[in-house]
Chain A
Amino acid sequence: MGFKTPLFDTHVAAGARMVDFGGWDMPVNYGSQIEEHHAVRRDAGMFDVSHMLIVDLTGARVRDYLRHLLANDVAKLKESGKALYSCMLNEQGGVIDDLIVYYIDESWFRVIVNAGTRDKDLAWMKRFCDQFGVEIKPRTDLAMIAVQGPNARAKAATLIGKHADAALQLKAFVGRELGQYFIARTGYTGEDGWEIMLPVAEAPKFWSDLKAAGVAQCGLGARDTLRLEAGMNLYGNDMDENQSPLESGLAWTIAFDPPERDFVGRAALEAQRAAGVKRKLVGLILDDRGVLRGHQRVVTSAGDGELTSGTFSPTLEKSIGLARVPAATGDRVEVDIRGKLLPARVVKYPFVRNGKPLVS
C-alpha cells in the first residue's frame, strides 16, 4: 500500500478507481475519465492534489537562496502572492524537479513540488539552506484541492464565506492567505481556477461541499489529458535529471539575465547553448486512428526521437503528444505505433486553452 492523502477514504467511498502514482494511492477516475475532462473544460472540476508537497522557506535571505537554487529568477516576484514556475536543476543542468514558488514576503516564500520527488527535492534544498540561513518547513499539515474550469472560481467562492470577495479578486498566478485557506489562481489544466490549500482536517468536508456546489470530482486520468492539451510538461515523462530544460521545451523558464546571477546548473546550460542544443520538445498531432503514447519511436528525416507523453485528446477528438526529437526536425514525422509507421504533424503547443482548440 502506498501513501494516502487526507481524502483517500472519500475517494474510495465515491467508487474511484485507485492507482499508484509516485508512491501514492490516488484516484485515476471516478467513472468516465472523458466526462471528467469535459467537466473541467466546460464547467468546473476538482482534483485532490494533496500528494504534492507544500514547503515553506523562511529567513532574511530566502530570496537570495532561491535565486541560487532555481533556474528561473524570483527577482521577478515583486507583488506579494505572485507565483513563478521554475525548474530546480542539478549541476549538470538536468531537471531535479519543476515547481511553483510563491513570494509571500521578504522572509517567506512557499514552493509546491511534485509528489514522487519530494524526498530528493527536500534533500537538495537542504544542501544550500545553511549558507543562506534558510529554514525549510514541509507543510504536511495542509491538504490541497485544485478547482478548475470556467465556473470553478464562482462555485468554490460560495464555500469560503467572508473571503470570497478577496479570493475572486486574485489575478492570474497570484496566491494569498485568507484565514485558514491559501488560495492561488493557478492550475495544471489550461483553464481558470484555484488551487486551495487548507488544513488536513477540513479537506473531506470542503471536498463534499464542493461536490454539492456542482464541482465534478476528477481523477489523475483527466488531469493528465487536460495538462497535455494545455501543453504543460509532466515531470518524469517530459523531463527528468538526464534532460536539460533547453531540450524539454522549457527554455522560457530559464532566466539567463542578469548574467551575474549564479544559479545551480547555469554553467552546464550555457555550455549546452554554446555548443548548440541537439534536441527539442515538439507537439505532435496524429490524424489517423490510433493513440500516441509515451516511449513510442518517432522517425524523422533528421534521425529518431521519442514520444515523452501521448494521449487521446477529448477536446480535439484525436491523439496528441509531446516528443523529444532532433533539433533539425521539420513539420512532418512518423510514429511507430504497435509496429506501424503512422504520419504525424509537428505543431506548436498548447493544443487547447480556456476551452478552445488552438490547433486543428
Chain B
Amino acid sequence: MANIPADLKYLDSHEWARVETDGTVTIGISDHAQGALGDLVFVEVPEVGKSLSKGGAAAVVESVKAASDVYSPLSGEVVAANDALSGSPELVNSDPYGAGWLFKIKPSNDSELQQLLDAKAYEKVVADAAH
C-alpha cells in the first residue's frame, strides 16, 4: 500500500504539494507514482526563476519503463530545484516525500491551494486506479 501523508495536498495526476512555514510550496511525486514508474533514471527539474502555471508541465521524470510529465499543482515562480536528482534520480524512489522533492515555488494565487485534493481524496484516486 502506497504511503499518503495526511499533511500534504495532491493532484489526481499524482503530484504532492507541501506548504512550508515561509509560504513557499514544495512539490514532488507521490509514493504511488514512483512505485508505478519503477526505478527512475533521469529527472529534469525546472530552472529557478521560471514561472509556472497551475496544471502546466513543470518537470519530467523518466524511469526504466516510461517518461512522464510532472504538472505544477499551483501557479507561481520556481524558487528552488532539487539538483541532487541529476546525479541521484533514485532519491525519488527511496524518499519521495523527503530527499526526492522536485522543486519549490512561490505561489502567485493562494486560492489555488484550496482546489487541491486532501490525503483522503487522493487515497480514493489511488484506490480507483487499482481497479
Contact = CB atoms under 8 A, between A and B. Distances in A.
Interface of A: 17, 28-29, 32-34, 221, 225, 289-291, 293, 311-312, 314, 338
B125 interface: no
Contact of A221 (B41, B60, B65): B65
Interface string B20-44: 0000000000000001101101101
Nearest to A338: B67
Nearest to A318: B41
B62 A32 contact: no
Interface of B: 35-36, 38-39, 41-42, 44, 60, 62, 64-67, 90, 93
Contacts, number: 38
B39 A291 contact: no
Contact of A33 (B39, B42, B44): B39
Contacts of A289: 42, 44
B85 to A, nearest CB: 12
A17 B64 contact: no
B61 to A, nearest CB: 11
B35 A225 contact: no
A67 to B, nearest CB: 41
Given A17-B35, A32-B93, A311 B42 contact: no
B38 A29 contact: yes
17 contacts: A17-B35, A17-B38, A28-B65, A29-B38, A33-B64, A33-B65, A289-B42, A289-B44, A291-B41, A291-B42, A291-B62, A291-B64, A293-B67, A311-B64, A312-B62, A314-B64, A338-B60
Nearest to B43: A289
A337 B93 CA distance: 24
B41 A312 contact: yes
Nearest to A35: B39
A225 B65 CA distance: 10
